[in-house]
Structure 1
Amino acid sequence: MNQPSSSTDAKPITIFTIGFARKSAKEFFEKLQKAGVKRLIDVRLNNVSQLAGFTKKKDLEYFLRVIADIDYVHFDDLAPTKDILDSFKKQKEMDWADYERRFNALMEQRSPETHHLPNEFDHACLLCSEATPENCHRRLVAEHLRRRWGNVEIKHL
């Protein structure tokens, strides 16, 4: 098991986050390019939905490579479970505080910091659909990794 590095001995890394909602393709890809993103990490549970528009998995992978020379990966271990997501979005059984608590518990259980390396995330951008990071799990993932690895700067695009 990888041990989290302290901020004094870890190479600093920058993790970006972005949501595609309320963004045109032009705005989306320009934000990624301007920030210097090298890899897009898709953290959505469902990345092939018709609602995803230009960010459907196969299309997005192509656009990122051709438009911006950015790698694409999908890490489903950083996505919420269907149960958590449905309880929050569809059934409205929980508020954001409950969702955040359940998702953070899921991250504790999954321990992504033990099977992903910090360099996989340096200048990478976590993608989800929410327009802003405040009520989105991509922010929670980035914050979890910062707590575990230290020396992580988070920038929301």
Structure 2
Amino acid sequence: MKVYTIGFTKKSAREFFALLKKHSVKKILDIRLNNCSQLAGFSKGADLEYFCEICGIGYEHNTRLSPTKSILDDYKKKRIGWPEYEEQFLKLLSERKVEELFNFGDGNNDVVCFLCSEEKADQCHRRLVAEYFKCKNPKLDIEIVHI
């Protein structure tokens, strides 16, 4: 099964939704800590939920899959580097037991896409979340696709 990730930065609404449609995404899991920033444009939480509804895509905002404000601030203010951020965030996911949130492969979470703001996934927590679920579900042969 495929699990997708997407960031909205440097994408127009047209490009963003075209990518979701192209990959047959059925549900967006918004894993941003703050999904109502003025900088979010079309991807502000309530607006994005409405646009997804129009497109027939489910939407859920889940901060259990977000970093804490402290971890995020430490990284943004360069008090920690990416390796430390990654280590702290993965520890947080484990402590929160987020693998219990979803039952991938039951048909209800098929074609899911983790959403965050970063343009690229290499240094974004959405990649870490997708990899965490892949690691916790080895029997499902999850393929992660960053769109």
- Tell me the TM-score range normalised by the shorter chain: over 0.9
Q: In the alignment, residue 137 of structure 1 is paired with which amino acid?
A: H
Q: Is the 8 A contact 1:15 1:121 kept in 2?
A: no
Query: Which residue pairs with 1:153 in the alignment?
Result: 143
User: Where does the alignment leave 5 or more consecutive residues of structure 2 unmatched?
Assistant: none
Match of 1:113 among 86, 95, 99: 99
The offset of 1:121, in angstroms, is: 3.4
CA deviation profile, 1:88-126 (whole Å, cap 9, x unmatched)? 11x210111111111111111112112321144320100
TM-score between both structures, scaled by the size of structure 1? 0.88
CA deviation profile, 1:65-95 (whole Å, cap 9, x unmatched)? 11x2101001110000000001111x21011
Aligned mates of 2:45, 2:114 — CA distance in 1:
14
Q: In the alignment, residue 73 of structure 1 is paired with which amino acid?
A: E
User: Where does the alignment leave 5 or more consecutive residues of structure 1 unmatched?
Assistant: 1-12
TM-score between both structures, scaled by the size of structure 2? 0.93
Confirm whether residue 88 of structure 1 aligns to residue 78 of structure 2.
no
CA RMSD of aligned residues (A): 1.0
Confirm whether residue 98 of structure 1 aligns to residue 84 of structure 2.
yes
Query: Which residue pairs with 1:74 in the alignment?
Result: 61
Match of 2:24 among 32, 36, 42: 36
Q: In the alignment, residue 134 of structure 1 is paired with which amino acid?
A: D
Match of 2:38 among 50, 67, 79: 50
Q: Is the 8 A contact 1:14 1:121 kept in 2?
A: no
Pairs aligned (count):
143
Percent identical: 47
Q: Is the 8 A contact 1:87 1:93 kept in 2?
A: yes
